[in-house]
Chains A and B, each alone.
Chain A
Amino acid sequence: MTNVYFPETTNDVSEIIGDNIISGQKVEVRTNGSLINLGQKMATDSILSLKKFDQITSYEPEELVITLGPGVKLSELVNMLAKYNQELRFEPPDYGPLFGNQKDMGSIGGIIGCNLSGPKRFLGGGARDFILGVEGVSGYGKTFKSGGKVVKNVTGYDISKLMAGSYGTLGALTEFTLKLSPIPEAEISFLVHGLNDKQAIQLMSRIAMSPIETSGLAHLPMNIAKTISQGSATTILRLEGASVSIKERSDAILKLINKYSFSLRETEESKFIWSVICNVAPTHPPADKPLWKICVPATYAPDLINHHKPDFYYFDWAGGLIWMASDEIPKIENGAYWLIRTPEGDPSIYPFTNIKDAATNMIMTKVKKAFDPKNILNPRRLGG
């Protein structure tokens, strides 16, 4: 039976890791565990759950900064911030349902640990861009902190960024400080119907290159678009901001799309569409194929799809992000991929992610060693 630890203090975490350093046993670091199937499969001897670090340590709305534990539930955090008219601008997704879990089970720890960002990422940055500071315990069993609690700070190495997307392989984080943003006054989305991939990428690029600030640019081919509209491939453009500004920018968007068939979705309908794009789950990617998240230059996206010809795919981040279900490993030269969900059966033939070359792999191994010399924290979680 696997031991499960639920430490309540940083000191507890330090002792548990210390014990495992001596015994040489491997530890799975997690918070709530809704993303536990994300990442390379691991063999571990025990589980270190950080779910009891579930307090908001400090929140001063006028500073747009919050300090909290990894176990704070994302849904509760989002609701609490909304009361103060604030949000996490990187639009954290909920991938729980993709793995067969209930929705709203995830915690902020998983979002930061896996550096997961939603559709707004192409505009204002990803989870890693909003982390101001971290505290945690390394694989040395020692506590460490980096960054701070102010928005502008370049004191020392930016270990906070390194922690984002490290999948718990570098330390058990017990506290984060995040930068917040005001919720825009209003939002609307334009749905452009019937474009093929290439036309959609061209339109999204054209808009992204213009001063009309959009906070979402995605394209769903016909079979996926069924979830949100009817009958045809759909390109979705989101505007957010002050109402006066939305009106002016809408006029500018209309000039670019009036030759196509299009429709408009306001407030709640717009939010629903973007939650579908953000969380992938309601688009029902096939469970019998690997589901890939791929980052490439947007102009390369149509070629990639042309090469693999997958049944399930769509574009987000103005074409810079592709979701694709395919038995083939994504063929990319310039970009990154992650295997988000493995097919049923033996997934071991697929790598979790791509590391560029041996030299990069070597330096990443050294970075891992600088935090976890005995390789006990989430060993091989990131592959390699």
Chain B
Amino acid sequence: MKMPKPEQSILDQLPELTKRLTSLLGQEGIVTSEYGLKAFESDGLTAYRQSPMIVALPNTTSQVSEILKICNELNIKVVARGAGTSLSGGALPLADGLTLGLSRLNRILEIDYVNRCAVVECGVTNLGITDAVCEKGFYYAPDPSSQIACTIGGNVAENSGGVHCLKYGLTTNNILGIKLVLLSGEILEIGGKYQQESGYDLLGLLTGSEGLLGIITEVTVQILPKPETARAMLIGFSDVENAGACVSKTIAAGIIPAGMEMMDNIAINAAEDFCHPGYPRRAAAILIAEFDGVASEVDYFIDRVSNIAKELNATSIAVSNTEQERDGFWAGRKAAFPAVGRISPDYYCMDGSIPRRKLPEILQKMNDLSEHYGLKVANVFHAGDGNLHPLILYDANKPGELENAEEFGAEILKLCVEMGGALTGEHGVGVEKRDLMHEMFTEADLNQQERLKCAFDPNHRLNPGKMFPALHRCAELGKIHVHGGKLLFPDIPRF
């Protein structure tokens, strides 16, 4: 993975930068020692590591603003970091960059139950929001698997999803406002405790912008009343095609579960070995479907999905009757990644997304690729919304195996795009899929995205090397080229 070449002129600024940051934040607000910087050298994508030049740990939005002003003046690159759980290398540091650690902005500023929202600082964890509002029967809906650790600021930057986004949407559908600090240090309030903002949808643009446009320091999130009942189904199938068909038929019947997950046989057995959730070991695939709402509605949909599953020759159908049972069904799914980590020295987690009906087809093709590369794959899907998480099993200590796994992963993502899907469903582009962007977008498409980048950060100081396969100069992108400067058919009146 090639990153932008460190700029000597930036490295030369380190003493001045350190002096100014120390004066702003004190010794406790910066990290400069080699040992201390090690802690920040990677995020959830641990295959890539790089110590940052320096780390700043602000406590407030105004400190963030001051830091950015300094960086802007000294031309320093800035990489924002929440809890460092990104799976695409979004928070991978730069050798000539400042890592802006935002975990100390972790206050819940306001909970407004009547207007069903909460204002929190960016470093509050995803689960921390739900913990703060659950006593009144509320919760924050997006639930990425890392929710115990990941921060809401990171969730906004990556537009994180989770198991329940099938019914409740991604981060972008669950937030109302942000406080945004531009590289110039200017602080913008976008949206707030109301449903729709005026002007361009900057909130929508900033969500999923991966730290390339500005730093988000506060978020106004929507909170929802917790559904009265939630029950889960665990359905086993002897072949993967029928499991896939069950997902398609359920959705086509107008039934939208709160979540609908699929695991294949390797993942099932890894989970069984790891935490014994009681999954059918011989099943080729299992589905976990959850329904929430009032009790009668939940029962009604469970009946309907049971019938669909039976028609498709499900080998087992279990329905949770208690919270304990429901948690039990989920335990194996939630622990799927560490469980797979136990059966292989390393794994590489992919995140493509496809039209639901293509599930069986892509599984078949992944099997072929698995044989071709000589690497096993465990499959865990957010099947209801066509988001795949193939885990490629490899051993980084075997020479060439990481590169082999990366190549295999890239092939899977290309397949996703070929099938009408996307490179990333919820993990973001980061460094991981940066060089694959051309699979999905033309040069012209990417240029338009880059022009937006230029509107916020014309010198590519914010998280450079992420998302875009090449960094073009903004002046060049801004030029207008029109068919050789000639009007086409200037004399013809057009009606």
Contacts and interface: CB of A to CB of B under 8 A. Distances in A.
A binds B: yes
A50 interface: no
A363 B188 contact: yes
A320 B354 CA distance: 36
A349 interface: no
A354 B299 CA distance: 47
A173 B190 CA distance: 25
A208 B224 CA distance: 9
Given A158-B207, A296-B194, A363 B293 contact: no
Interface residues of A, number: 105
Contacts of A366: 455-456
Interface in B201-237: 201-205, 207-209, 225-228
Contacts of A369: 455
B165 interface: yes
Given A152-B422, A355-B199, 9 more contacts: A5-B494, A19-B488, A85-B254, A149-B420, A158-B209, A159-B448, A242-B300, A356-B198, A384-B199
Contacts of B441: 145, 155-156
A181 interface: yes
29 contacts: A6-B495, A19-B487, A22-B485, A22-B486, A141-B480, A142-B448, A148-B420, A148-B422, A149-B355, A150-B385, A152-B382, A154-B429, A155-B441, A156-B449, A157-B452, A158-B204, A161-B203, A161-B204, A182-B256, A211-B227, A213-B293, A248-B296, A336-B194, A336-B198, A337-B198, A338-B198, A360-B199, A363-B202, A370-B455
Nearest to B490: A19
B207 A62 contact: no
Given A150-B422, A152-B426, A15 B385 contact: no
A338 B195 CA distance: 13
Contacts of A295: 194-197
A165 interface: yes
A382 B170 CA distance: 28
Given A3-B494, A62-B248, A211 B440 contact: no
A157 B295 CA distance: 40
Interface in A137-154: 138, 140-146, 148-154
Interface stretch (A119-127, A191-199, A221-229, A263-271): A119-127
A18 B487 CA distance: 8
B467 interface: yes
A317 B115 CA distance: 11
A298 interface: yes
A283 B485 CA distance: 52
A162 B200 contact: yes
Among B193, B198, B226, B382, residue most surrounded by chain A Cβ atoms (within 10 Å): B198
Interface string B439-472: 0111011111101111110000000000100000
A245 B449 contact: no
A133 B255 CA distance: 24
A159 B493 CA distance: 34
A145 B445 contact: yes
A122 B117 CA distance: 12
A374 B356 contact: no
A336 to B, nearest CB: 4
A369 B451 CA distance: 9
A37 interface: no
A153 B429 CA distance: 10
Contact of B296 (A21, A244, A336, A355): A244
A126 B355 contact: no
Contacts, number: 296
B452 A370 contact: yes
Contacts of B444: 142-144
B116 A208 contact: yes
Contacts of A62: 248-249, 251-252, 356-357
A9 interface: no
A166 interface: yes
A156 B483 contact: no
Contacts of B490: 19
Among A46, A61, A298, residue most surrounded by chain B Cβ atoms (within 10 Å): A298
Contacts of A117: 196
A61 B252 contact: yes
A241 interface: yes
B192 A155 contact: no
Closest 7 CB pairs of A and B: A161-B204, A182-B254, A245-B297, A62-B252, A366-B455, A153-B422, A336-B198
A275 interface: no
B297 A129 contact: no
A380 interface: no
B173 A129 contact: yes
A297 interface: yes
Contacts of B93: none
B294 A156 contact: no
A367 interface: yes
B154 interface: no
A317 B25 CA distance: 44
A152 B384 CA distance: 10
Contact of A157 (B205, B296, B486): B205
Contacts of A248: 294-297
Given A182-B254, A371-B448, A156 B437 contact: yes
A251 to B, nearest CB: 9
